[in-house]
Structure 1
Amino acid sequence: MSLAKTENRTFLANASFLALMQAANSFLPLLTVPFLVRVLGVELFGQLAFVTAVMYYFFVLTDYGFNLTATRDISINRSDINKVNEIYTCVFFIKSVLIGMSFLLLMVGFFVFPTVIENWPLYLCSFLVIVWQSLFPTWFFQGMEKMKYITYLSVLAKILFTVGIFVFVQGPEDYLLVPILTALGLFFSASYAVYLIHYQHGVSFVFVSWALVRKNIIDGWYVFLSQMKITLFSSTNIVILGIMTGPVAVGYYVAAEKIMRALALAQTPITGALFPLIANKMKKDKKLAMQKLKKIAYLGSAFYLCALGVGYFLSDYVIALLYGDDLQESAWVLKVMLIIPLLIFLNNIFGTQILLNTGREKLFFYVLLIAAILSLVLCFSLTYLYSYQGTTIALLITEVFVVLAFFVLVYKDWVHA
Structure 2
Amino acid sequence: MIEKITSHTFTGLFKSKSIQNFIFLITIQASNIVITLISMPLLIQGIGVDQFGLVNLSLSVIILANILVGFGYNLSGPREVAIYQNDKETLSQIVSNIVFSKVLMALLATLGIVVSIFGLNMFKEYQWILLFSVLLLFSEATLPLWFFQGMEKMKLISIANIFSKLLYLMGIVLFIHAPESAKWVNFIMGASGLGINILLLLYIHFMLEIRFYKPKFVQLFSSLKDNGLFFLSNIATHISVNGGLIVLSFFATAEILGMFSLAERISMVLRMFPSMVIHSIYPNATKLLKEDLGQFVVFLRKAYFSTMIVALFVSLTTFALAPFIIQLLAKTRFEESVIYLRILAFIPFLACLNIANVVIFLGRDQKELMFRSSWILLLFMLPVCFLLSYYFGGIGLCYGLLSTELVVLLICTVLNLMKNRDIIRAFWKGGI
The answer for the alignment partner of 2:376 in structure 1 is 370
Deviates more, 1:119-128 or 1:354-363: 119-128
Which has the higher Rg, Structure 1 or Structure 2?
2
CA distance, structure 2, for counterparts of residue 117 and residue 360 of structure 1 = 42
**1:151 equivalent in alignment to 2:161:** no
- C-alpha distance 263-36 of structure 1, shift in aligned 2 (>3 A): farther
Task: Give the letter for the 1:415 counterpart.
Answer: W
**1:278 equivalent in alignment to 2:285:** yes
Q: 1:325 is paired with a residue of what secondary structure?
A: coil
CA deviation vs aligned residue, 1:115-143 (integer Å, no higher than 9, x gap): 62222134334433233123211111112
The answer for the alignment partner of 1:300 in structure 2 is 307
Contact in 2 for aligned 1:49/1:254 (Cα 8 Å):
no
CA distance, structure 2, for counterparts of residue 10 and residue 374 of structure 1 = 37
The answer for the alignment partner of 2:324 in structure 1 is 317
Name the TM-score, length of structure 1 as normaliser: 0.84
**1:395 equivalent in alignment to 2:401:** yes
- C-alpha distance 50-83 of structure 1, shift in aligned 2 (>3 A): same
**1:221 equivalent in alignment to 2:234:** no
**1:256 equivalent in alignment to 2:263:** yes
1:328-407 aligned within 5 A: 329-351=336-358, 353-383=359-389, 391-407=397-413
Q: Using the aligned pairs only, state the percent identity.
A: 25
Q: Which has the higher contact order (CA 8 A, sep 6+)?
A: 1
**1:102 equivalent in alignment to 2:109:** yes
CA distance, structure 1, for counterparts of residue 75 and residue 213 of structure 2 = 22
CA deviation vs aligned residue, 1:377-396 (integer Å, no higher than 9, x gap): 34444555666555544433
- C-alpha distance 170-207 of structure 1, shift in aligned 2 (>3 A): closer
CA distance, structure 2, for counterparts of residue 12 and residue 142 of structure 1 = 12
Deviates more, 1:83-92 or 1:118-127: 118-127
Contact in 1 for aligned 2:69/2:140 (Cα 8 Å):
no
Name the TM-score, length of structure 2 as normaliser: 0.81
CA distance, structure 2, for counterparts of residue 155 and residue 129 of structure 1 = 16
Task: Give the letter for the 2:345 counterpart.
Answer: L
CA deviation vs aligned residue, 1:306-339 (integer Å, no higher than 9, x gap): 2211211221221221222397654333222211
Q: 1:297 is paired with a residue of what secondary structure?
A: helix
Out of 87, 93, 100, the residue aligned to residue 100 of structure 2 is: 93
CA distance, structure 2, for counterparts of residue 45 and residue 224 of structure 1 = 31
Q: 1:299 is paired with a residue of what secondary structure?
A: helix
Out of 182, 186, 211, the residue aligned to residue 179 of structure 1 is: 186
- C-alpha distance 32-381 of structure 1, shift in aligned 2 (>3 A): farther
- C-alpha distance 126-340 of structure 1, shift in aligned 2 (>3 A): farther
Contact in 2 for aligned 1:55/1:127 (Cα 8 Å):
yes
CA deviation vs aligned residue, 1:188-211 (integer Å, no higher than 9, x gap): 321221121122112222143444
Deviates more, 1:142-151 or 1:231-240: 231-240
Task: Give the letter for the 1:318 counterpart.
Answer: I
Q: 1:203 is paired with a residue of what secondary structure?
A: coil
Task: Give the letter for the 1:89 counterpart.
Answer: S
**Equivalenced residues, count:** 412
Unaligned runs of 5+ in 1: none
CA distance, structure 1, for counterparts of residue 77 and residue 303 of structure 2 = 24
- C-alpha distance 9-396 of structure 1, shift in aligned 2 (>3 A): closer
Contact in 2 for aligned 1:242/1:249 (Cα 8 Å):
no
Contact in 2 for aligned 1:237/1:391 (Cα 8 Å):
yes
- C-alpha distance 7-160 of structure 1, shift in aligned 2 (>3 A): closer
- C-alpha distance 311-15 of structure 1, shift in aligned 2 (>3 A): closer
The answer for the alignment partner of 2:414 in structure 1 is 408
Q: 2:215 is paired with a residue of what secondary structure?
A: coil
